[in-house]
Chains A and B, each alone.
Chain A
Amino acid sequence: MTVTIFVPRDAAALALGAEKVAKAIAEEIKARGLDAQIVRNGSRGMFWLEPLVEVRTEHERIAYGPVKAGDVKGLFDAGFLEGGQHALHLGPTKDIPFLRQQTRLTFSRCGVTDPLSLDDYRQYQGLKGLENAIAMTQAQIVAQVTDSGLRGRGGAGFPTGIKWKTVMDAGASQKYIVCNADEGDSATFADRMIMEGDPFVLIEGMIIAGIATGATKGYVYTRSEYPHAIATMTEAVEIARAAGILGPSVMGSAYAFDMEIRSGAGAYVCGEETSLLNSLEGKRGIVRAKPPLPALQGFLGRPTVVNNVISLASVPVIMDRGAEFYKNFGMGRSRGTIPIQIAGNVKYGGLYETAFGLSLGEIVDHIGGGTATGRPVKAVQVGGPLGAYFPRALFDTPFDYEAFAARDGLIGHAGITVFDDSADMLKQARFAMEFCAIESCGKCTPCRIGSTRGVETADKIAQGIEPEKNKALLADLCNTMKFGSLCALGGFTPYPVMSAMNHFPEDFSPAPLIEAAE
């Protein structure tokens, strides 16, 4: 029997040397004349163990990691093709606690299958949701998505089903599905992992959205910083088209749907849906005023669903297992699962899909294991560059849209950056303003100018120049940006700034300026 060895092709695994490991394994197989094949899978999302190599034995998959190219010879010597003991031996993959405790619905195949194998995809429940959708009416599909409680995973948390209904009810000769894969928030990589590790689930989700709303064309707008994701998605679309999943007759049905992969060009603001639509149309990525809603006048002025990758990739499991099944996970108005991305200065960094409701402390201390540097956790930023900094005192906050909002924070795209006690929160507040200044589209004054004034004001505080007056000025500036900006870039930059100032006042009171002696 041919033994299968899995070596991830995920960009993070590659960044940690997976390519060299795969090459070394291939050479060793050849040199030893073994009957083994290498499959390049996605990542399981345990990045402290990457490159995580798995061997499929007769019974189960055995994990080894983190594997370096230099370890490969020793692994073969240790009988790794039979799951032999070795210092890097982690036991059966499914029993690794970080994985075992997760509820993987959206990411059920990621890291398990060959991302570009349709056979693998079908074998692991793929296309079941689409088959069900084809047999239903549009209104039934929309109702099922609405009933599941799925809310936009991009950050806004808007109910997906309601957005779909608006597009379904809109009369137009052409409608569109636009997947927002412009994942620019630091600490987030869930979209990238899905596109690289299970691209067909996104394609399936987009087709279902198309059938439900009457849209026949889809676009994935992703980032030029994600070359691996672009390559995998592009190849997957070609495979799906060749298999008749995309095209004039989706899986032999009366529905037509096709899609393209588009790349942005390094503008963070294009993750905002109206700016994204302008960019997709070939314009500057300037934010549009709403209304009109993109659902009614979106891409090229036509009714358009703009959904995040994870929202769309969660649709197939909802259509396969039912609204009730999905809805039974979670808490309050946050239903289903959320892929939490634990990043930054953290011991066990990675992707952890689970039902809503875990406390921030459980996520950071227990699942993440504290900092990588071993120093105490000082702050965590939740929700990317526009998310608030949380101190340890707020670690009891449950991971839920409303609970975070109640504490002047946001979940955003569910990325968490951990900082140890060496972090300077005034510096982080200044960076939030600096980032806003770099990435502002320039349309609204509070964002365009306020961000630059914010950097200057933070600098004055750091230099000890009239600190009390400048802190009040910074707070006032944040207030203006929050209420005077058109989109979340200017409107949410105050979150990291104000949370840093409120929760870590000691960092905003540097030693008074000592005048040099004459």
Chain B
Amino acid sequence: MNVRISAGELTERSLQIIRDLKHLEGPMLPILHAIQAEFGYVPEEVKPVIASELNLSRAEVHGVVTFYHEFRDHPAGRHVLKLCRAEACQSMGSDRIADRARQLLGIDFHETTLDGAVTLEAVYCLGLCACAPAAMLDGEVFGRVDELCLSEIVAEARR
């Protein structure tokens, strides 16, 4: 994912995505997901393009983008590590795992390591509650995460 693209190209690629999807009923979320898949985040410059294509105000688009935890206003690191912080994982010591992750990466939740390798995110449930604590590195899922497993995941992400 190349974030150093010109404004013209950004608009061009966004327009393509929006026009492919705007025929859907309720096209906004599919468009935002596709934009984030394309650029790694939802660039500020894309909001007016979406607004104009969907005949909405910029404020409405901004409101939607900022409502959902998933959409980013800046690119994530090369890998995104999500740790579940919900009750089932808590019951199996996820708070300890979270502390360890912060320590290993030297960052807090919603932050990215200085080398740009890993962004740490909290999630509330991955549906892996009978093999807690759970984690997800990009699309890959991990259950019964202990300190050893966590350090392997972090090492993998850092490579």
Contacts and interface: CB of A to CB of B under 8 A. Distances in A.
Interface of A: 11-12, 14-16, 47-48, 50, 183-189, 191-192, 217, 224-228, 260, 262-268, 279-286, 299-300, 341-346, 349-351, 372, 381, 384-385, 415, 417-420, 423, 428, 431, 435, 438-439, 441
13 contacts: A11-B141, A183-B125, A186-B129, A189-B130, A217-B25, A260-B24, A266-B70, A279-B29, A282-B27, A283-B64, A344-B132, A349-B129, A428-B87
B8 interface: no
Contacts of A16: 131, 143-144
A23 B30 CA distance: 34
B134 A187 contact: no
Given A282-B64, A344-B91, A186 B70 contact: no
Contacts of B63: 284
B123 A266 contact: yes
Given A225-B82, A344-B87, A435-B124, 9 more contacts: A192-B127, A265-B71, A266-B123, A267-B69, A267-B70, A283-B60, A341-B129, A372-B92, A431-B90
A79 B132 CA distance: 33
In this complex, which of A12, A226, A346, A438 has the most chain B Cβ atoms within 10 angstroms of its Cβ? Answer: A12
Interface string B87-102: 1111110000000000
B20 to A, nearest CB: 14
Contacts of B25: 217, 281, 299-300
A263 B29 CA distance: 8
Contact of B124 (A11, A186, A428): A186
A341 B33 contact: no
A265 B131 contact: no
A346 B26 CA distance: 41
B105 interface: no
Nearest to B32: A265
Contacts of B30: 262
B29 A226 contact: no
A385 B87 contact: yes
B130 A283 contact: no
Nearest to A441: B67
Contacts of A280: 26, 29
B91 A47 contact: no
B28 A183 contact: no
A225 B84 CA distance: 10
B86 interface: yes
A269 B82 CA distance: 20
A189 B87 contact: no
B39 interface: no
A174 B113 CA distance: 50
A15 B142 contact: yes
A370 to B, nearest CB: 13
A341 B144 contact: no
B128 interface: yes
B131 A183 contact: no
Contact of B126 (A225, A262, A300, A346): A225
5 residue pairs, one from A and one from B, having the closest CB atoms: A282-B28, A349-B130, A15-B143, A186-B86, A265-B68
Nearest to B69: A266
B91 A345 contact: yes
A226 B84 CA distance: 13
A100 B63 CA distance: 51
A346 B29 contact: no
A251 to B, nearest CB: 25
Contacts of B68: 264-267, 285
A439 B71 contact: no
Contact of A381 (B26, B70, B82, B87): B87
A345 B92 contact: yes
B87 A283 contact: no
Contacts of A441: 67
A48 B71 CA distance: 34
A86 B128 CA distance: 28
A384 B127 CA distance: 12
Nearest to A50: B131
Given A266-B69, A385-B86, A15 B139 contact: no
A12 B130 contact: yes
Most chain A beta-carbon contacts within 10 A, residue among B24, B70, B127: B127
Given A281-B26, A283-B28, A419-B91, A268 B124 contact: yes
Nearest to A46: B130
Contacts of A342: 130
From A191, A228, A417, A423, residue with most partner B Cβ within 10 Å: A417
A432 to B, nearest CB: 9
A186 B128 contact: no
A439 B91 CA distance: 21
Contacts of A227: 139
A185 B87 CA distance: 9
Interface string B26-43: 111110110000000000
A235 B29 CA distance: 20
